[in-house]
Amino acid sequence: MDIHTGEIYGKQTAAKFVMYNVLKVSKTIVTLQNIDNPLSLFETTAQKLASSGYVRISQTPYIDLAATPKKRKAARKPTRCPLTFDFLEDRADSQRPTPILPDLFN
């Protein structure tokens, strides 16, 4: 499984669909951040990510325009304008990606 920084992965839980942003990828460790709760970080491996039911939602990074970082140094600068419209993803970087849910009922 080829995982890159900035990709978005999602997992269907009993209550809702949760999306995670890939913050860092090293040789064995992948660091994920919950999009809805930026303080929620966890590390896993690519094998555990695939076997736990996570699916790649988007290769375009999600940039939250409403987020207000408390420390100026902690703010990451986006590599491109958050309002850039990606016609392949059919959304701007600042727009939340639509989850791709498998059709379980057919």
pLDDT tens per residue across span 25-80 = 988 899 999 988 888 899 999 899 888 888 888 887 777 777 666 666 555 666 67
Torsion sign (Cα): 84, 38, 48, 51: negative
**pTM of the full predicted structure?**
0.64
d(CA 19, CA 26): 20
| Closest alpha carbon to 99 in 58, 51, 40, 63 | 58
d(CA 106, CA 103): 6
Q: With beta carbons less than 8 A apart as the criterion, state whether 6 and 61 touch.
A: yes
pLDDT tens per residue across span 68-89 = 666 665 556 666 777 778 777 7
